[in-house]
Amino acid sequence: MLLDQRIAEAAVRAASAHETPLFLTDAAALEANADAVAAAFPDPWLRAYSLKADPEPSLVRRLAARGWAANCVSLGEIAAARDAGVPASQTTLEGIGKSGAELDAAIAASLAGTPLRWIAVESLDEARDLGDRATAAGLTAQRPLRVLLRLNPGIEPGTHAGLAVGRASSKFGMDRIELAAAAKALSAAPGLRIIGVHLHAGSQLRDQVAWRAAVDAALDAYAELAASGALDDAALKSDGTLCVGGGLPVDLGTVEDLRAIATEFAATCDAAWAAHANKGVAATPPVRAVEPGRALVASATILLARVLHVRARHEAVIGGLAGPHGSPKSAAECERQVIIDAGMTEIARPALYAAWHPVVALNSGAAADGETLSAVHGPICESTDALGAHLLPRSMARGDLVGILGAGAYADAMRSPYNGRPTPARLTLERDGSLTLDRQRGASTEGSPPTRR
Ligand SMILES: Cc1ncc(COP(=O)(O)O)c(C=O)c1O
């Protein structure tokens, strides 16, 4: 069962008090996910939540309270982590390209005696700029900034092209030659301390062979760094790190399913570490870190929407997935279209990656007259604003409530004001059944008359 009665009931309550679209997070599900992944990657693994999946402060705070550190890709995310109570020592700064201001902020934190856990360097240009800025700012070995070097593992992660960041041709990370050159550039700055390697093989990974190949490549890169003398004795003995990134796939089943998936990923890492140690590789990193995003949050949030109109119109949804709840079909012949008031401005993933999220009816008794395969669309003026094919009640009508499931990752985080859309409200369903309003619905530009001059 994809949506339990407790959440369905809370969704109806939330939508009767607040306008749709709105996001509703189930605190119990969020915490259960966080604990399941933590159990798969127990101490001494370092665990950080990747805020890019959903930087909502109340959610980050709940994860921080369960021991999750924060992985950030901008000063905005760093501020969100700080506001959620995560100390700098448990905050990392990563990201494909960092501005001078971002590099300076990381340096300033070290100068102030509150260093970030690390900054992950993505390119040779970035390494040179960071080195120049650190030296100019007077950063010294007494108050260093710890640095990881991001490797592009050059693997085929077997996921959607838009999520396959570990491919050799992707824009992410450095190959081994660039990585060695970046290490050299960083070593010239006395206040920068290289402690290891950073990896992100791709997201929604399923293939353990590809995952193992990526971890192996990163362990090799770490050994090369050690052999080149880029790592100091303290790194080799105690804080040398391999961060394996995120990428664990989302599971909309039970929390036990998520725990099983996470355990498989952790076991593959263990096997890779053991194999490297056994084959006499000179150095394996003493510290292991993991930084999932979507796996923690996706299944804990639903996006609520109301039906705007229903129209009998044949549509073959190509490449869509059709019900019952997620069984794959290559093309779904739909008898009608259902237009709802949430779309790509609230959940961009279907338009971006052809992602399919179950859409379920939340009106009680609505399925009494059976269901029909329906092409669900959002209200935005783009034909890619489509949510795929879903089995929905025949009686569905304007005003009915639907839930878009698995909307906790890269949905609210990517929301846009396109078409003059307001910021949707956000609520949390607490364990005691009460609803907390985390964010009011924002102002909309819809309906404002054009200004006359
Ligand atoms: C470096 C890095 N770490 C972690 C993540 C989080 O990925 P996911 O949400 O798939 O776990 C990403 C996603 O793009 C990433 O690029």
Name the maximum alpha-carbon separation found in the chain: 77
Identify the pLDDT of residue 320: 58
**Which residues surround ligand 1 with Cβ inside 6 Å?**
50, 53, 94, 165, 200, 203, 245-248, 291-295
Residue with tokens 């991001």: 150
Q: In a mutational test of the pocket of ligand 1, which residue from 121, 291, 297 has the highest number of ligand atoms less than 8 Å from its CB?
A: 291
Q: Yes or no: say if 219 and 269 are a contact pair by the CB < 8 Å rule.
A: no
Among 243, 213, 245, 240, residue whose Cα is nearest residue 227: 240
How do residues 339-353 score in pLDDT, each as one tens digit? 999 999 999 999 998
Q: Whose CA is nearest to atom 1 of ligand 1?
A: 200
How do residues 184-214 score in pLDDT, each as one tens digit? 999 999 999 999 999 999 888 888 999 999 9
**CATH 3.20.20.10 residue window(s) in the chain:** 94-292
Residue with tokens 């059709």: 322
Residue 322 has pLDDT above 50, yes or no: no
- CATH 3.20.20.10 corresponds to the domain 94-292: yes
Residue with tokens 């019900």: 323
Other CB atoms within 10 A of residue 416 CB: 11
**Per-residue confidence at 155, pLDDT binned at 50, 70, 90?**
confident
Rounded distance between C-alpha atoms, residue 108 and residue 100, angstroms: 12
Q: Where are the alpha helices (DSSP H) in 349-392?
A: 349-353
Question: What spacing in Å lies between the alpha carbon of 96 and ligand 1's midpoint?
Answer: 11
DSSP helix/strand/coil, 359: strand
Identify the pLDDT of residue 449: 47
Burial of 330 (0-12, 13-18, 19+ CB in 10 A): exposed
Domain 299-439 falls in which CATH fold?
Answer: Lyase, Ornithine Decarboxylase; Chain A, domain 1 (2.40.37)
Atom of ligand 1 nearest to the CA of 163: 14
CA dist list (Å): 342 to 139, 337, 355, 384, 387: 49, 14, 15, 13, 10
Q: Whose CA is nearest to atom 16 of ligand 1?
A: 200
Question: What spacing in Å lies between the alpha carbon of 292 and ligand 1's midpoint?
Answer: 6
Residue 1 has pLDDT above 60, yes or no: no
Rounded distance between C-alpha atoms, residue 410 and residue 389, angstroms: 21
Mean pLDDT over all residues of the chain?
92
**Per-residue confidence at 366, pLDDT binned at 50, 70, 90?**
low
Where is average pLDDT lowest: 230-234, 249-253, 373-377? 249-253
How do residues 162-176 score in pLDDT, each as one tens digit? 776 778 888 899 999
Residue with tokens 């006499």: 280
**Per-residue confidence at 376, pLDDT binned at 50, 70, 90?**
very high
Identify the pLDDT of residue 318: 75
Strand partners, 223: none
**CATH 2.40.37.10 residue window(s) in the chain:** 299-439
Atom of ligand 1 nearest to the CA of 94: 1
Query: pTM to 2 decimals?
Result: 0.94
Residue 373 has pLDDT above 80, yes or no: yes
Among 11, 354, 48, residue whose Cα is nearest residue 198: 48
What's the mean pLDDT in 113-129? 98
